[in-house]
Amino acid sequence: MNKRDSSIVYMLLGIYALMINWHYNHNIILLILAYIFWPLYLIYALLIGDLSHGMWKEIPLSYFK
């Protein structure tokens, strides 16, 4: 995997973390914090179970319905 491919994956994971944050919080200040610390927020969301029971795919789909 070259550098361009890894940067696209990194960007997509960041956008995914922001989508998760907005789905649960609807707060612009928390969204900005999640934008700054999105790798930590994504790990936090995985650990507390925000993405369990199929929510990992339902959250992105909810933005396109």
State the Cα–Cα distance between residues 41 and 37, nearest whole angstrom: 6
Residue position matching structure tokens 């956008």? 15
Distances (CA, A) of 18 to 2, 38, 44, 48, 49: 25, 7, 13, 16, 16
* Residue-level pLDDT at 65: 85
The model's pTM is: 0.84
**Residue type present at position 5:** D
All residue ranges of the chain with pLDDT < 50 are none
Backbone angles phi, psi at 51, to 5 degrees: -110, 15
